[in-house]
Each structure stands twice: as structure tokens, then as C-alpha cells.
Amino acid sequence: MSTPKIVVCPHCHRPNRVPEERLGDGGQCGHCQSPLFDGTPTELTAATFERQVGRSELPIVVDFWAPWCGPCRAMAPAFAAAARQLEPAARLAKVNTEEEQALAARFGIRSIPTLVVFRNGREIARQAGAMDTASIVRWLRSLS
């Protein structure tokens, strides 16, 4: 049996220990009983960002976006489709830079959309500009 991975629930943002070989089984949060993986990007706020990015042992891919941004809105379906393809190997999340300006400033977001990949709480890659589903998936798999 492998070492368990810490997976943070996308609903209550509490950590769960999941055996690595069971990640593909989906699973439920031990606290709120919600699915740990539902194939949709998780909305993050300043309050939930640290819990997801800082505690999860999965790579977290954060889309920094804004509702007024045409390329951001155009990329949203591709990002959601990438979440369905990449979970449970990675968690995809979104940060609305209009509502979370401090997070955008903290990470030096200069243009949107910008995708930032975090592993074990640290930034490991960044890509600015809208991408289609295949490009998102290919880029993220190249980082593994």
C-alpha cells in the first residue's frame, strides 16, 4: 500500500488522507461527505486559497481571471473540460481577480487569463493567455 496523499475537499476545504492508488476511485470528504473530485474547477477566495494550495499534495492549477475579460470567458469551457480530464491527478481552481485583488497582486498577475501551477504550496509554472483544452492538458502533463 502506498503513502496517502493529502487531498483538500473542494467544498469544505478540509484535508483528507487518500491512498494514492485510490485517487481514481473518486472518494468522499470525511468531513462533509461531498465528492473529493467532481470534474469542475474550484472557486477560490483569499480565505480558501491557502487551504487548497498550501495543504494539498496534488498539483493545483489556478486560473486567474476576471468576468469582464473576453479571453477569460472564452477559455472557461476549455478550463472546465481540462478539469474533467486531469482530475484526480491535479486540482483545477479559479480566482476572480476583481474580487480577490490582493491575491492577484501577491502573485504578480499582470495579464489575464494567467494559469499558475502550484505543487506543495510553491509556484512551479506559469502561462499567460487563453488556451484550448488540448493545450492546457498538454502543458500540464509536460510538467509532471
Reference 128, options 142, 107, 109, 143; nearest CA is: 109
Give the pLDDT confidence score for residue 25 in this predicted structure: 84
Identify whether 12 is a catalytic site residue.
no
Distance between CA 64 and CA 5 in Å, rounded? 26
Catalytic residue among 9, 12, 32, 69: 69
Distance between CA 111 and CA 113 in Å, rounded? 6
Reference 144, options 101, 78, 90; nearest CA is: 90
Catalytic residue among 9, 12, 32, 72: 72
- Report the phi/psi class of residue 94: left, alpha or beta, with left for phi > 0 and alpha for psi in -120 to 50: beta
* Tens of pLDDT, residues 16-54: 999 888 888 878 999 999 999 999 999 999 999 999 999
Do residues 143 and 60 touch, judged by C-beta distance below 8 A?
no
Identify whether 9 is a catalytic site residue.
no
The grid coordinates of residue 97 equal: 481577480
* Tens of pLDDT, residues 50-102: 999 999 999 999 999 999 999 999 999 999 999 999 999 999 999 999 999 99
Could you give the angle at the alpha carbon of 8 between the alpha carbons of 17 and 103, nearest 5°?
A: 150
| Count of other CB atoms within 10 angstroms of residue 86 | 19
Give the pLDDT confidence score for residue 1 in this predicted structure: 55
